[in-house]
A and B are shown apart, each in its own frame.
Chain A
């Protein structure tokens, strides 16, 4: 039976922000629909309304012309609307089977039979009796999808599903989604990745600032046209200059980096050796959870490992803590902006002061020189086009992009010789990503070096001079980026090998 989903005049207003402004859309089964927009465009709000997590201030949802009352997630489930959230809604410490059985109405035996049928039908391989925390992101997503399929959904909503997947996993996902579509499930695909829209979807609705600004057939669209619709202005194209100077000095050299852990949340690292030249960007690719966290912490000095040698500007720094390493002109931008890079409850200028204890005159005789810090913070805000000039603002009120700019600004003010960043554009929108990329390229142009640990292959290919892949705590051989293709990276990231 055909499914017809209609959203009519949905509005949702939060204090100080119109998340959804009179949104009306129509979807029919047999097609894959893309909902495209930057962060904060209102996609997630709309999706939460459709899945009953929040209720709209205004407007209605119709499924096959039946007016749905979606006041709780249960209502969405009853009406056969399935939802795979961007941040998985799984219980990490429970087994896969327990996760799937929690809202099941049947007994465990027949549930297991049905799960196995789905596994077989769609060629998924997942051990049902291990805790979810041992699964890869791709497998977790499959568990979420199975949970939806168990309820034979009419509508399946995928919220930014590929942000944690490898190329291969993404391809597998697309194959599955096309299968579901052929079986008559209406698929709504939320993303800010333009290429995915073009390769997967039939129709695309673009949202900006809470409004639907365009609905069109994807065959009539190109990456550029969609990007301009999404951002609302023309984006400058940036490309890195090829770094020709191959025989420059090695500024940073890591030897015999080993790290052992039996913590199920950590990954052991096995004998990593690499070096970074002056003015070079070394990219480290990999699916999250393959040792990047541990590597970043060791490089920044949060974890000290014995027997590792780290030479930086001809000095052995392996035993130094992060503060000492900063004094040698290293800088760090961790993945988790909120909990690792900045203290969200502190004001902007306080966060700026946090890692500049030595290098400036922020502190005099043990007292804080607020005036100097504030002046300095103002400079960062304007130099790095953070969209506020209020240094008294608590950092938690900055958007991800602005917070990342602030952090980069803070790190770069000491003119570091080496910047190590980990997923610097994670979760940011196109405009902010562009800005961060430009900044990183500028650093290399000034003959300073960067190590870019990232799960985003496109970003790596764009910024790196050489790339290595980390898989299960082991580093692949380091390749010049012009010899690397997304496909090659995908194979290595999935644990395969290339010749």
Chain B
């Protein structure tokens, strides 16, 4: 029987790897949204992160620079969004959509000369432990540092929002920017920071795809993951831990249904492909059905334009 215990371990490991970009992008967007800003440019920021990370790797042959560079490119492109929505008071939704379209186009243009170039192997940690421990080895060890960071991130985000002063300020701004401003909080600055942080995480999520998960550049390689990340944030009702659960379910069912297709289950392929979306939504809706908690976690001012009275 090929479905032995070590195979399941490897399967879980691959599910974790596939959910990393979702966790990163969704955690970043979660902070942005908690400050009351709806940035629909996640997909665009991810793809820019993917191409800049890959291009920097090819040019500098340095993975560290590539990773940091991808985050910086996410910051820069989200700065455009921040400037438009926070300083010029444009509509969040329209601006975010434009950002995504812009990002996809720009990345295709920048990436022309990088198509077909092989990627570089990304160092993995604890590779010896991965082989020596059955089942738990492939789950816990032998991953890139980015994966470990991604799995710590929802917990760090949760801690940040619930326990730190800055997290409280972010939540306050998302709840009522007018009150926050009247309390002397610089709402625009807080929102800028949250937007840029979201951009950095989306950039990193993109770089994970082009440098680690499938080390190469393919046009439009984010393939809608940005939109899934956005949906995760909403269906997880702005709770970081639920984002993690949602990302794992989505990654898990994506991988499982691929295996099911390979084995040749008598279920229409289209249904199997739709399954991850369906299940993620169902599970998240079920675990976040407490209307009280939703009210308390939802950033009341989400997507609304704030300007300071003069």
Q: Tell whether A and B belong to one assembly.
A: yes
Please report the C-alpha to C-alpha distance between residue A54 and residue B165 in the assembled complex, in whole angstroms.
27
CB distance from A14 to the nearest CB of B (A): 10
**Interface pair B309/A93, CB less than 8 Å apart:** no
- Please encode chain A, from 229 to 268, with 1 for each CB lying within 8 Å of some chain B CB and 0 for all others: 0000000000000000000000000000000001111000
Contacts of A89 in B (CB 8 A): 176, 178-179, 182-183
Contacts of B310 in A (CB 8 A): 54-55
Please report the C-alpha to C-alpha distance between residue A89 and residue B176 in the assembled complex, in whole angstroms.
8
CB distance from A13 to the nearest CB of B (A): 12
**Interface pair B175/A73, CB less than 8 Å apart:** no
Contacts of A265 in B (CB 8 A): 295
Task: Verify if A141 is at the interface (C-beta below 8 Å from B).
Answer: no
Contacts of A93 in B (CB 8 A): 171, 175, 295-298, 300
**Interface pair A73/B172, CB less than 8 Å apart:** no
**Interface pair B182/A92, CB less than 8 Å apart:** no
Task: Verify if A131 is at the interface (C-beta below 8 Å from B).
Answer: yes
Task: Verify if A74 is at the interface (C-beta below 8 Å from B).
Answer: yes
**Interface pair A94/B295, CB less than 8 Å apart:** no
Interface residues of A in 48-87 (CB under 8 A from B): 48, 51, 53-55, 72-74, 77, 83, 85
The total number of A-B Cβ pairs within 8 Å is: 68
CB distance from A338 to the nearest CB of B (A): 15
Contacts of A102 in B (CB 8 A): 168-169, 172, 183, 185
**Interface pair B309/A53, CB less than 8 Å apart:** yes
With A72-B184, A73-B183 known as contacts, the answer to whether A94 contacts B292 (CB < 8 A) is no
Tally of contact residues, A, Cβ under 8 A = 28
CB distance from B232 to the nearest CB of A (A): 21
Contacts of B297 in A (CB 8 A): 93
**Interface pair A263/B291, CB less than 8 Å apart:** yes
Task: Verify if A135 is at the interface (C-beta below 8 Å from B).
Answer: no
Please report the C-alpha to C-alpha distance between residue A145 and residue B175 in the assembled complex, in whole angstroms.
20
**Interface pair A94/B184, CB less than 8 Å apart:** no
- Please encode chain B, from 33 to 61, with 1 for each CB lying within 8 Å of some chain A CB and 0 for all others: 00000000000000000000000000000
Query: B residues near A, CB below 8 A?
Result: 165, 168-169, 171-172, 175-176, 178-185, 291-292, 295-298, 300, 309-310
Q: Which 6 A-B pairs have the closest CB atoms?
A: A74-B184, A89-B179, A91-B175, A73-B184, A89-B182, A91-B172
- Residue pairs across A and B with Cβ atoms less than 8 A apart, 22 shown, are A53-B309, A73-B182, A74-B184, A77-B184, A89-B176, A89-B179, A89-B183, A91-B180, A92-B176, A92-B300, A93-B171, A93-B296, A94-B171, A94-B172, A98-B168, A101-B165, A102-B169, A102-B172, A262-B291, A262-B292, A263-B295, A264-B295
